[in-house]
Amino acid sequence: MRSVMTDLHAAAKRCLDATDPVEKLRLTQAAWDALQSGALQPDANSPAPERISAPGRPARPHLVPQRQVPHRGLGTAEGRAALVHAVAHIEFNAINLAWDAVYRYRGMPSDYYRDWASCANDEARHFAMLARRLAELGHAYGDFDAHNGLWEMAEKTAHRDTARMALVPRVLEARGLDVTPGMIERLRGVGDESTIAILEVILREEVAHVAAGTRWFKWCCERDGVDPRETFLDLVRDYMGRNLRGPFNRPARLQAGFDEMELDHLTALALS
């Protein structure tokens, strides 16, 4: 059996389990560097993935239902810090989601593992930028309450790679493509160019992450002999129900691999 130090699945689990954000970022960077150098590879003899549970995360932020997360205006430093914290929490979750996609789903093509390890590395860099901005605003990650919606969907889809690829990158993470331009405009109104610069980087790079979800969702559908458009819409109906939210950023979603018919159907579902 290959040493644990060369097993990509084991490395992904270490990243996933790390509770301290600084350590999670360090392990993520090291795993990505090792994968790029060829030192890490998916190992067919790696122990089967454990049942999904809460990922490694610090004791704070306190997690509350989404409706209980307060909305603050951007006219104060506190309000801007709350917004930066909310995005940082999404990025922290996204690190875990990417590593879980590497750890949980076995026997996938090597490009699948490279795509999601690359995403994890990007999300870690995004989190680091946001953490620095939080510090400039007098706060740290954990200072505000947050919700657990992204990870809850990871738990619901852990049994099926097709559902995970459809619903986490293409629905929940893709929501960032829809709402970030509005955040940028609101921040422009209060002159917060430092936060805008970070969000512009994240928006540009998240298109590629959603595109990875599209690519591997379609791969799963082709493997299973099912129609991707019908399967996607069925999964959205089954898992999202009345919780699908629009409007949708069509240009960004088209770049990320959606087609016009999918977006028309999503718009109709969001309005129903």
Give the pLDDT confidence of 193-240 residue by residue, as tens digits.
Answer: 999 999 999 999 999 999 999 999 999 999 999 999 999 999 999 999
Question: Which option is the CATH number for 79-271: 1.10.10.10, 1.20.1260.10, 3.40.50.300, 2.40.30.10?
Answer: 1.20.1260.10
Residues of the chain falling short of pLDDT 50: 1-4
10-30: per-residue pLDDT in tens? Answer: 999 999 999 999 999 999 999
* Distant-in-sequence, close-in-space partners of 165: CB < 8 Å, separation ≥ 6: 213, 216, 217, 220
Position 5 scores a pLDDT of 66
CA-closest candidate to residue 109, choices 254, 223, 225, 226: 223
The pTM for the full model equals 0.95
**Backbone phi, then psi, for 255, in 5-degree steps?**
-60, -35
Position 232 scores a pLDDT of 97
